[in-house]
């Protein structure tokens, strides 16, 4: 019957439309979740003026526990108590493959500027504290700190 077949054709087109829309929405969300940071070239090139030491890492751990762990988690896996309430979700800082792709300057910039929902720490922490955190963030991704 022509009436039924044109109806089912319409239905199929409608379904196809819904599927395509869902794919587009998923792609937009995936992009937003992994959106690259735009860090100025000169900020990327900055070198950490602070040499790493156990004292510096201990000081940075204290700042981290106070200001970062609620989102990024004590071990840096992005599983802090507040993590679930943020989108995009807080980055897993223990991902060594990711860590090897960013410079110290880039991490310093990210901590300083933030990006919603991550706050900017430029005014909340001194430059020295932010560089200490760069060392600490690096230590989270070091293979030796790879706790299960
Ligand atoms: C309110 C929750 C929150 C707090 C507090 C927070 N972060 Fe984040 N952080 C995030 C989120 C969410 C992202 C991902 C943002 C994005 O990709 O758009 C992020 C991203 C980062 C990144 C970038 C990783 C990358 O390359 O994608 C670094 C580094 C980082 N945070 C370090 C810190 C440090 C250090 C502190 C403490 C001084 C801190 N964060 C505090 C939520 C938070």
Tell me if 138 sits within 8 A of 144, measured CB to CB. Answer: no
Q: What is the atom index within ligand 1 of the atom nearest the CA of 102?
A: 26
CA Rg value for the chain: 22
| 6-33 pLDDT, tens digit each | 889 999 999 999 999 999 988 888 877 7
| 32-44 pLDDT, tens digit each | 777 889 999 999 9
Tell me the average pLDDT across 103-132.
97
Nearest CA to ligand 1 atom 37: 68
| 40-71 pLDDT, tens digit each | 999 999 999 999 999 999 999 999 999 999 99
Check pLDDT > 60 for residue 146: no
Our answer on whether the CB atom of 72 is closer than 6 Å to any ligand 1 atom is yes
Burial of 77 (0-12, 13-18, 19+ CB in 10 A): middle
Our answer on whether the CB atom of 134 is closer than 6 Å to any ligand 1 atom is no
CA 120 vs CA 58, 100, 124, 130: distances in Å:
22, 23, 8, 11
């Amino acid at each position: 019957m022509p009436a039924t077949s044109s109806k089912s054709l319409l239905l199929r087109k409608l379904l196809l439309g819904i599927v395509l829309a869902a794919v587009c929405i998923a792609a937009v969300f995936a992009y937003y979740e992994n959106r690259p940071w735009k860090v100025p070239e000169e900020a990327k090139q900055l070198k950490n003026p602070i040499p790493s030491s156990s004292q510096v890492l201990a000081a940075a751990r204290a700042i981290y526990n106070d200001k970062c762990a609620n989102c990024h988690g004590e071990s840096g896996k992005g599983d802090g108590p507040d993590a679930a309430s943020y989108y995009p979700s807080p980055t897993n800082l223990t991902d060594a493959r990711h860590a090897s792709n960013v410079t110290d300057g880039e991490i310093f910039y990210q901590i300083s500027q933030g990006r919603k929902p991550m706050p900017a720490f430029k005014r909340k922490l001194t430059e020295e504290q932010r560089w200490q955190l760069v060392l600490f963030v690096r230590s989270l991704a070091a293979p030796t700190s790879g706790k299960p």
